[in-house]
Amino acid sequence: MTMCIIDLSQTFGSTMPVYPGDVTPTLRQIATVGTEGFSDFQLTSSMHVGTHIDAPAHMIDGGKNLLEVEPSQFFGRGVLIDARNISLITAEVLHGARLRAGDIVLVNTGWSVYFGQPRYYEDFPKVETSFADVLIAAGVSAAGFDSPSPDTAPFATHKKLLGHGILIIENLVNLERLLGVGEFEVVALPVKFAADGGLARVVARVPA
């Protein structure tokens, strides 16, 4: 079967927005082919900017870091949840969703259109713990959002998901392109950091 790849990742760069209080990343060229005979770049960044994955260690004391997560957890059958125009996302939006163990659930809120604007971090849709309870019961591998976070302090939804080993993917884009798509696969590969999270390239493989 011929497959099409849809990129679900934000472009990483020094001008990208960061969660309030986080470190602004820098990506600069430190060598050029014309001068040094080769090109090279230097990156300075925290692990939770742009499209990235939170491992359990991000908020769970003693939880696994990315290095300890089985690579198989970064691949899975994708399930798209349409949560557009919903400011408080509850278990109700999962009604009718046929979740299976190992799925990667993507929540399309439409919020990625505000990426780069102050509003992106101010009043994004929030996810209740009842939503997390359904994912936990189904045994999914990861939950991804086209927003900066599923919740705010004290981060009850974060802690519930991560506490049950469910990875959290944040700052996704292009989820609307998956509306109406039947079966698709998600590949969410972070760099192999020995850290509580990491930058990731996330794509969906859909039938062409």
- Position 132 scores a pLDDT of 98
Burial label for 164, CB within 10 Å (0-12, 13-18, 19+), is middle
Domain extent, residue 170, equals 3-7+46-207
Domain-located, residue 28: no
Whether 101 maps to a domain, the answer reads yes
Average pLDDT for the chain? 96
Strand partners, 186: 76, 204
* Residue 192 domain flag: yes
For residue 93, what are the CA distances in angstroms to 109, 187, 200?
11, 23, 26
What is the C-alpha to C-alpha distance for residues 105 and 82, in angstroms, rounded to an integer? 11
Residue 29 lies in a domain: no
Residue 24 within any structural domain of the chain: no
- Residue 40 belongs to a domain: no
pLDDT digits (tens, 9 = 90+) for 109-146: 999 999 999 899 999 999 999 999 999 999 999 999 99
> pTM of the predicted model, to two decimals?
0.96
Domains identified in the chain, total number: 1
- 2: pLDDT confidence band, cut at 50, 70 and 90? confident
- Please state, for a pLDDT cut of 90, what percent of the chain lies above it: 91
The reported pLDDT for the residue numbered 182 is: 86
Give me the percent of the chain exceeding a pLDDT of 70: 100
Query: In this structure, are strands 26-31 and 40-44 parallel, antiparallel, or unpaired?
Result: antiparallel
| 13: pLDDT strictly greater than 90 | no
Q: Which tens digits make up the pLDDT trace of 161-172?
A: 999 999 999 999
What pLDDT, on a 0 to 100 scale, did the predictor assign at position 3?
86
CB 99 within 8 A of CB 136: no
Local confidence band at 14 (pLDDT 50, 70, 90 cut-offs): confident
Predicted local confidence at residue 15, as pLDDT: 84
Structural domain includes residue 39: no
pLDDT score recorded for residue 46: 94
Per-residue confidence (pLDDT) for residue 208, from 0 to 100 = 84
C-alpha to C-alpha distance for 133 and 157, rounded to whole angstroms? 9
Note the pLDDT tens digit of each residue in 51-96: 999 999 999 999 999 999 999 999 999 999 999 999 999 999 999 9
What CATH number is given to the structural domain containing 83? 3.50.30.50
pLDDT for 1 beyond 80: no
**pLDDT by residue (tens digit) across 167-196?**
999 999 999 999 999 899 999 999 999 999
Residue 199 counted as domain residue: yes
